[in-house]
Amino acid sequence: MSLTTADVEHVANLARLGLSEDETELLRSQLSSILEHIEVLQQLDTGRIPPTARMNSLTNVLRDDVVQQSLPQIVVLSNAPQSRDGFFEVRAVMTEDTAEGGSA
């Protein structure tokens, strides 16, 4: 499995991960090599094997819907790089350039 530079750039974009050109090239070769090792799984016939997604038999763990004390707003905001009026402050999510701003 050999990845192209475009493959790496596509995945980096999905992961919102800024990479330099050097990093992109290094990851292209390293990920290609790791994927080659992972190819070993294709030797196994798993057609009739159910997937395992969780490690114990607990399912639909529910609790009573009771209001509980939560952390004070000032404490939750204390680690924020930027906050204003009780909110986390970020650059505008919606912009006129929807390609960059990210319309759904």
Question: Is residue 21 a contact partner of residue 5, using CB atoms and an 8 Å limit?
Answer: no
What amino acid is encoded at 37 in this protein?
Answer: H
Residue 95: partners with Cβ closer than 8 Å, 6 or more residues away: 101
At 100, list the tokens.
Answer: 């960059």
At 95, list the tokens.
Answer: 């912009």
Q: Contacting another protein (CB under 8 A), which of 2, 4, 78, 98?
A: 78
Q: Contacting another protein (CB under 8 A), which of 91, 96, 103, 104?
A: 91
Q: Output 37 or 86, the one with its CB closest to another protein.
A: 37
| Radius of gyration of the CA atoms of the chain, in A | 22
Q: How far is the CB of 28 from another protein (least distance, A)?
A: 10
Site for another protein, rule CB under 8 A? 7-8, 10-12, 14-20, 23, 27, 30-31, 33-35, 37-42, 44, 46, 49-56, 58, 61, 63, 71, 75-76, 78-82, 88, 90-93, 95, 100-102
